């Protein structure tokens, strides 16, 4: 069909064959026509002959509508009384229907584009679905902006970015505490990252004790870091002894720093004895004072005035005035006769010189006779030559056998190591590296002022035996370790000239952190390819040189090729990564591996061969290749749970990670890096070294371990918090030492644990007691005003106390899930904690059975956290325990109501050990329905076989990637915690080559200490593992699983991979 306008120009041609035969064919043009004639011709398909066989032809014309003068929009309709609502502004729509060629304008759809988008849809023709980041998936129908954000801490309108600094909570509507540093707080719950001086606590809303120096106290405990003059102890609320000098007393002990005139002793309580007087009793009474038979004292103990007059020929208060000569005694005060004074001084100097020469002669004679002996001595401390630029007027360091500002002979034969260290207790002992542009700088050379110290080659006073480790840490708290950290030497004498040169300084991620010249890694130079030899990486020694480390910064885009080149040239087969790629929106490390397949860095290709995901870390197997060379395998151990600021909440995950790294020994250097390559990197290497030291010597020396690392790289173990965390991690690691089991030895291991010692206590009981000792909850013994008050402060508020069934089983704030407040009268609190699954952090939930007053909170928790499986214990007590609220429907025909929720039961199935209900939860109008499986343990007690059967059935419901499992019992710990721990243990048995029961138990007890409360439950864990090993057929092939791991190649075997080496992705299952 052809259409011509009034000028006989063709405006339309329709030649398509209609799809089917029909009585009427309607052709809808896509634009307005002004036509005079229509010519119609019909041809047979694939033929040129034209035929005409039409019964009737009708032509319908629409009105011609013009633009509306006010809106500048075209009109449509028979009477042109409607406006075109098109996506393209000013576009003509079809006159008859109002439909637009470009679609309806955003927010509308349908014929005439006059129907508003349905909830959860927006945009042109309402074709776009609102983002999942919008609460209840509701958004503006025009632009898709969220009405409210689904998750707290997300910023409207798109709710995908974190709140701006200074805001937190739902829709970022709440202000961070004014006492947070820079008004910066956790975007989810508002907890401050750091407090302004004078405040402490989770929200920095508690004032520091008034006598803290400069109003500075510990961020969490509120304990003072230093006291104002005249006060001491952790709260600075005790007055220094009266006779202390005005500069005060020791911050912790209360011992006087110096005494007032006339007093001596640690607390200056003793008057000067004998004929001494003055400050610290360091002056001697004048020999010209008269004495009596009644006492040997001849002068006043404060100012030295003679008590009984002067000897004949002298007078004055101190009898220092020679009446005959008219001069004063040179030993007491300046006189008029300079010759007497000069003579005395010259005589004294001559005497000192003579004594010094004698001492030097004796030392030379002794050393000459003992030189062979000293050469044969076992050196426990390598040579350290460390200095610091700048003078200091601060107090001397006293650390065991370390004394600054003096060169001290510390062992009997004078054989020591001289170390140059900073003066003690620097005002700013650490340098925090959070920005590339640091105001601090490091000199490449030069020495400046320093103090000389001698470290003994014999036994160090900082050595702690394993038997005394726990008691040592109990008696040496954070404040002591902070002070010890301040005494660590810094190798300011080492030069950094290569790293700070114009050629290389842009290769450092942070301008003030680079490799020392003497310990840096040298790359192979290739001038034709402009390959220099510098990379910001340093060689470090492990304990007894058994292991070798390379501590490196996280690579930037500029040095990615150099970093991979270092792995290739050094033949590295293990890399330990301790940072995430981005933290707080800032790049911390650029990836040197591909997300999939392979990527090329310079001349080296890196291929991702396999990946295994765990809750707190990822293991990647990489393959490096270069033209003309064989493939080189590298295993990367990537710890993902170390926060950029501070340290992990507890050390259990890092110990698990450290054990994983240690399980694949190597003789090649182990590359360890974070972002700057000093803080987290230094802490991990120090942990490795003290653990090797413990295995060999049954002792640990934290101080000297870190001091050795600092000899070869700047600021290793960067902060005092990391130094404390190192001790805590070592304590946990010792609990887990030699407790790993596999399916091959689980029976033998259980038999050994059941053996009893002379006192009748089994090894299993001893193992459990040690785990409990490490996991002891300070909240049970510390008053609410102490650190536990901060830890549990939300759980103990007046409004929340009523939501706890037991006052001693509370969630720590750092592990507590925060409920979103749907209205102003709702709280964010529920007595529950988040726990890790095998593959995800904060994945599962442990909670108490709901109280009658917390049933609504329970369903809010279910729907908000997307709980897909509830594993419940002790529900049979509901009929006798009035504190347990009814929250489930009784039958399929009668839904349970808990406004705004309706809970409908779809099915109920009885098993041998359980009752299984499938539920549908309907929320507020417009909200999606939520499906839930409720699995109730119907047995009483903890029969191992019945419990195993139940847990195996629960594990068949494998939650999807964004769903969670919830475990609950009456107190929210005893049975729910047992089920949670058992699930983790069985997941490890299914997916891993090794299992450490104390490690899994301790990790959950650190979150909720009442989990596994008694040794009988701890024994049940081993019994169920033994049963599972015997009954599950997977373990008959356990050795076959081992064989699927690559054969031993440079110590890479036994790394924990499951499946064939060619597998692209081996994901640990839960």
The model's pLDDT over 57-72, given as tens digits with 9 standing for 90+, comes to 555 555 578 888 888 8
What was the pLDDT predicted at 1051? 39
Asked if 562 and 664 sit in the same domain, the reply is yes
Q: Confirm whether 231 is domain-assigned.
A: no
- E-assigned strands of 856-989? 867-872, 896-898, 901-910, 914-922, 930-937, 964-969
CA distance 934 to 915: 8
What is the mean predicted confidence (pLDDT) over 615-636?
94
Number of independent structural domains in the chain: 4
Give phi and psi for 471, each to the nearest 5: -65, -35
Q: What angle do CA 541, 543, 545 make, to 5 degrees?
A: 55
Q: What pLDDT shows up at residue 218? A: 81
Shared domain check, 77 and 50: no
Give yes or no: residues 580 and 637 share one domain: yes
Closest CA to 71 of 91, 54, 56, 57: 91
Are 724 and 578 in contact by the 8 Å Cβ rule? The answer is no
Is residue 810 in some structural domain? yes
Query: Is the predicted pLDDT of residue 538 greater than 90, yes or no?
Result: yes
Inside any domain, residue 137: no
Q: How far apart are CA 580 and CA 680, in angstroms?
A: 12
State CA 520 to chain mean position distance. Answer: 28
pLDDT(948) > 80:
yes
Mean pLDDT over residues 974-1000, rounded? 93
Percentage with pLDDT > 90 across the chain: 47
pLDDT at 991: 87
Domain annotation covers residue 769: no
Q: Does the pLDDT value for residue 763 go beyond 50?
A: yes
Least confident of 327-341, 519-533, 537-551, 918-932: 327-341
Best-predicted range by mean pLDDT (419-428, 462-471, 860-869): 860-869
The Cα–Cα gap between 540 and 520 comes to 9
* Predicted confidence (pLDDT) at residue 452 exceeds the cutoff of 90: no
- What pLDDT was estimated at residue 643? 84
Out of 37-41, 44-48, 182-186, the most confident range is 182-186
Question: Residues 646-664: what's their mean pLDDT?
Answer: 93
Based on the fold, state whether residues 814 and 706 are members of the same structural domain.
no
What letter does residue 545 receive in the DSSP assignment? G
Are 69 and 56 in the same domain? Answer: no
Which class for 758: exposed (0-12), middle (13-18), buried (19 or more C-beta within 10 A)? exposed
Checking if the pLDDT of 1015 tops 80, the result is: yes
Q: Is the distance from CB of 593 to CB of 606 less than 8 angstroms?
A: yes
In a domain, residue 226? The reply is: no
Rounded to a whole number, what is the distance in angstroms from the first to the last CA of the chain? 65
794-815 pLDDT tens trace: 666 766 888 999 999 999 999 9
Contact 414, 486 (CB under 8 A): no
In eight-state DSSP terms, residue 885 is P
Whether residue 454 has pLDDT greater than 60:
no
In which domain, by residue range, is 43 found? 1-61
The model's pTM? 0.59
- Mean pLDDT value across residues 246-258: 78
Span 459-490, pLDDT tens digits: 457 899 998 898 899 888 999 999 999 999 98
Q: Tokens representing 195?
A: 């407090």
Let me know whether 709 and 828 are in one domain: no
Lowest mean pLDDT segment, chosen from 50-59, 91-100, 171-180, 495-504: 50-59
Which own/partner pairs from 111-117 qualify as long-range (CB within 8 Å, at least 24 positions apart)?
A: 112/76, 112/82, 112/85, 113/84, 113/85, 113/86, 114/85, 116/141, 117/141
Give the three-class secondary structure for 57: coil
29 and 89 assigned to the same domain: no
Is the pLDDT score of 1037 beyond 90? no
From the list 581, 636, 589, 591, the residue with the least C-alpha distance to 612 is 636
The encoded tokens of residue 950 equal 């139940």
CATH of the domain at 958: 3.90.190.10
**Quick one: DSSP state of residue 397?**
P
Q: What are phi and psi of 626, to 5 degrees?
A: -145, 145
Q: Pick the residue with more confidence: 784 or 497?
A: 497
Please say whether the beta carbons of 853 and 885 come within 8 A. yes
Strands (E), 30-127: 35-39, 42-43, 50-51, 75-76, 82-83, 108-109, 115-116, 121-122
| Alpha-carbon span 674 to 680, nearest angstrom | 6
Q: Average pLDDT of 755-773?
A: 90
pLDDT at residue 457 in the model:
39
Q: Determine the average pLDDT of the residues in 530-552.
A: 93
Q: What is the mean predicted confidence (pLDDT) over 745-769?
A: 89
Of 715, 737, 759, the last residue of a domain is: 737
Using CB atoms within 10 A of its CB, is residue 387 exposed (0-12), middle (13-18) or buried (19+)?
buried
Judgement on whether residues 44 and 78 belong to the same structural domain of the protein: no
Percent share of the chain, pLDDT over 70: 76
The per-residue pLDDT for 20 is 56
For residue range 89-100, list pLDDT tens digits in order. 888 888 878 888
Alpha carbons 338 and 344: distance in angstroms, whole number:
10
Give the burial class of 326: count Cβ atoms within 10 A of its Cβ; 0-12 exposed, 13-18 middle, 19 or more buried.
Answer: exposed
pLDDT, tens digit (0-9, with 9 covering 90-100), for 920-930: 999 887 788 99
Residue scoring higher pLDDT (124 or 978): 978
Lowest-confidence region among 11-15, 213-217, 425-429, 645-649: 425-429
Question: Is a pLDDT exceeding 90 seen at residue 617?
Answer: yes
Is 710 among the domain residues?
yes
Among the candidates 992, 1020, 1046, a domain finishes at 992
pLDDT digits (tens, 9 = 90+) for 663-720: 888 999 999 999 999 999 999 999 999 999 999 999 999 999 999 999 999 999 999 9
SS3 content of the chain, % helix, strand, coil (to 5): 25, 20, 55
Residue 747 lies in a domain: no
The beta strand positions in 139-288, using DSSP E, are 154-155, 161-162, 167-168, 174-175, 199-200, 206-207, 231-232, 238-239, 263-264, 270-271, 276-277, 283-284
Q: How many residues does the chain have?
A: 1070
The pLDDT, as a whole number, for residue 1 is: 60
pLDDT band at 260 (very low <50, low <70, confident <90, very high): confident
Q: For 346-350, 357-361, 492-496, 667-671, which range has the lowest pLDDT when averaged over its residues?
A: 346-350
pLDDT value of residue 852: 95
SS (H, E, C) 814-883: HHCCCCCCCCCCCCCCCCEEEECCCCCCCCEEEEECCCCCCHHHHHHHHHHCCEEEEEECCHHHHHCCCC
Structure token pair of residue 665: 């020994």
pLDDT in tens, 265-278: 878 888 888 788 98
Q: Are residues 561 and 637 in the same domain?
A: yes
Q: Which of 186-190, 369-373, 703-707 has the highest mean pLDDT?
A: 703-707
Residue 1006 lies in a domain: no
How far apart are alpha carbons 510 and 819 in whole angstroms? 40
Chain mean pLDDT for the chain: 80
* Residues 845 and 964 placed together within one structural domain of the fold: yes
| Residue of higher predicted confidence among 551 and 450 | 551
- For residue 189, pLDDT over 70 is answered with yes
Q: Name the least confident of 166-170, 343-347, 374-378, 916-920.
A: 374-378
- For residue 700, what are the β-bridge partners? 464
DSSP secondary structure letter of residue 910: E
Q: Name which of 104-118, 244-258, 913-927 the model is least confident about.
A: 244-258
Last residue of a domain, one of 992, 1018, 1050: 992
- Say yes or no: 558 and 676 in one domain: yes
Same domain, 705 and 851: no
The beta strands (E) that lie in 500-615 are given as 520-522, 534-541, 548-552, 574-577, 582-583, 586-587, 598-601, 604-613
């Amino acid at each position: 069909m052809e259409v011509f306008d009034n000028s006989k120009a063709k405006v339309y041609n329709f030649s398509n064959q209609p799809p089917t035969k029909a009585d009427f064919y309607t052709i809808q043009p896509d634009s307005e026509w002004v036509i005079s004639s229509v010519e119609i011709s019909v041809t047979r398909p694939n033929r040129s002959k034209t035929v005409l066989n039409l019964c009737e032809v009708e032509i319908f014309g629409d009105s011609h509508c013009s633009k509306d003068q006010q809106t500048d929009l075209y009109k449509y309709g028979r009477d042109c009384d409607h406006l075109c609502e098109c996506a393209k502004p000013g576009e003509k729509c079809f006159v008859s229907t109002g439909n637009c060629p470009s679609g309806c304008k955003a927010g509308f759809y349908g014929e005439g584009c006059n129907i508003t988008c349905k909830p959860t849809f927006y945009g042109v023709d309402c074709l776009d679905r609102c983002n999942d980041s919008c609460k209840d998936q509701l958004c503006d129908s025009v632009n898709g902006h969220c009405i409210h954000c689904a998750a707290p801490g997300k910023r409207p309108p798109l709710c995908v970015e974190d709140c701006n600094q200074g805001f937190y909570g739902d829709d970022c509507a709440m202000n961070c505490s004014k006492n947070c540093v820079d008004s910066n707080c956790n975007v989810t719950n508002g907890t401050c990252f750091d407090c302004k001086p004078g405040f402490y606590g989770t929200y920095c809303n508690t004032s520091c004790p008034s006598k803290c120096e400069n109003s500075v106290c510990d961020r969490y405990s509120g304990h003072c870091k230093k006291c104002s003059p005249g006060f001491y102890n952790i709260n600075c609320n005790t007055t220094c002894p009266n006779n202390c000098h005005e500069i005060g007393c020791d911050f912790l002990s209360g011992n006087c720093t110096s005494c007032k005139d006339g007093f001596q002793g640690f607390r200056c309580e003793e008057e000067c004895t004998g004929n001494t007087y003055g400050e610290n009793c360091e002056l001697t009474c004048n020999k010209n004072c008269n004495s009596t038979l009644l006492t040997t004292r001849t002068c006043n103990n404060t100012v030295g005035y003679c008590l009984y007059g002067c000897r004949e020929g002298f007078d004055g208060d101190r009898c220092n005035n020679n009446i005959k000569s008219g001069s004063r005694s040179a030993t007491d005060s300046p006189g008029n006769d300079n010759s007497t004074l000069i003579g005395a001084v010259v005589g004294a100097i001559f005497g000192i010189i003579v004594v010094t020469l004698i001492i030097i002669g004796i030392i030379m004679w002794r050393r000459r006779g003992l030189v062979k002996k000293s050469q044969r001595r076992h050196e426990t401390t390598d040579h350290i030559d460390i200095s610091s630029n700048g003078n200091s007027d601060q107090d001397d360091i006293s650390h065991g056998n370390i004394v600054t500002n003096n060169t001290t002979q510390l062992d009997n034969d004078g054989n020591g190591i001289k170390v140059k260290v900073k003066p003690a207790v620097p005002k700013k002992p650490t340098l925090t590296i959070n920005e590339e542009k640091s105001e601090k700088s490091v000199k490449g050379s030069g020495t400046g002022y320093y103090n000389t110290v001698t470290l003994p080659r014999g036994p160090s006073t900082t050595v702690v035996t394993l038997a005394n480790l726990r008691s040592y840490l109990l008696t040496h708290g954070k404040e002591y370790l902070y002070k010890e950290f301040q005494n660590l030497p810094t190798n300011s004498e080492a030069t950094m000239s290569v790293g700070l040169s114009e050629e290389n300084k842009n290769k450092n991620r942070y301008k003030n952190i680079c490799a020392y010249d003497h310990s840096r890694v040298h790359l192979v130079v290739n001038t034709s390819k402009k390959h220099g030899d510098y990379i910001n990486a340093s060689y470090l020694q492990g304990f007894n040189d058994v292991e070798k480390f390379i501590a490196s910064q996280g690579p930037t885009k500029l040095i990615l090729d150099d970093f991979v080149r270092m792995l290739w040239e050094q033949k590295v087969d293990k890399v330990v990564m301790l940072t995430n790629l981005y933290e707080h929106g800032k790049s911390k490390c650029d990836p040197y591996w591909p997300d999939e397949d392979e990527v090329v860095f310079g001349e080296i290709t890196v291929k991702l061969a396999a990946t295994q995901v765990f809750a707190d870390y990822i293991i990647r197997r990489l393959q490096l290749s270069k033209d003309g060379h064989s493939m080189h395998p590298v295993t990367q151990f990537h710890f993902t749970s170390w926060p950029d600021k501070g340290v992990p909440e507890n050390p259990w995950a890092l110990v698990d990670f450290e054990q994983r790294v240690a399980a694949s020994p190597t003789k090649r250097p182990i590359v360890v890096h974070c972002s700057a390559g000093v803080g987290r990197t230094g802490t991990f290497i120090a942990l490795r070294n003290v653990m090797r030291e413990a295995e060999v010597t049954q002792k640990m020396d934290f101080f000297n371990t870190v001091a050795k690392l600092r000899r070869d790289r700047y600021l290793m173990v960067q902060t005092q918090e990391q130094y404390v965390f190192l001790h805590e991690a070592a304590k946990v690691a010792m609990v887990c030492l030699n407790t790993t089991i596999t399916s091959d030895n689980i029976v033998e291991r259980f038999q050994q644990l059941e053996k009893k010692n002379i006192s009748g206590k089994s090894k299993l009981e001893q193992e459990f007691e040690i785990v409990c000792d490490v996991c002891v909850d300070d909240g049970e013994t510390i008053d609410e005003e102490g650190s536990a008050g901060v830890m549990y402060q939300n759980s103990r508020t007046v409004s929340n106390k009523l939501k706890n069934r037991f006052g001693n089983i509370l969630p720590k704030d750092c592990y507590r899930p925060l409920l979103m407040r749907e209205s102003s009268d709702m709280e964010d609190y529920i007595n529950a904690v988040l726990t890790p699954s095998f593959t995800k952090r904060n994945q599962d939930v442990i909670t108490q059975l709901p109280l009658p007053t917390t049933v609504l909170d329970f369903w809010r928790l279910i729907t908000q956290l997307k709980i897909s499986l509830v594993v419940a214990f002790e529900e049979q007590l509901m009929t006798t325990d009035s504190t347990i609220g009814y929250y489930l429907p009784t039958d399929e025909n009668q839904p349970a109501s808990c406004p705004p929720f309706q809970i409908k039961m779809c099915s109920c199935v009885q098993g041998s050990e359980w009752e299984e209900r499938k539920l549908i939860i309907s929320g507020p109008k417009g909200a999606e329905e939520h499906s839930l499986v409720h699995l109730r343990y119907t047995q009483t007690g903890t029969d191992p076989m019945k419990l195993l059967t139940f847990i195996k059935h629960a594990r068949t419901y494998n939650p999807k990637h964004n769903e969670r499992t919830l475990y609950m019992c009456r107190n929210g710990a005893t049975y729910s915690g047992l089920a949670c721990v058992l699930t983790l243990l069985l997941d490890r048995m299914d997916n891993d080559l090794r299992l450490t029961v104390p490690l899994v138990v301790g990790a959950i007890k650190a979150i909720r200490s009442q989990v596994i409360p008694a040794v009988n439950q701890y024994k049940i864990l081993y019994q169920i593992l033994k049963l599972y090993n015997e009954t599950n057929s997977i373990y008959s092939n356990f050795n076959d699983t081992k064989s699927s791991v690559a054969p031993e190649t440079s110590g890479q075997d036994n790394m924990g991979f499951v499946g064939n080496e060619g597998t692209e992705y081996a994901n640990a299952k839960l």
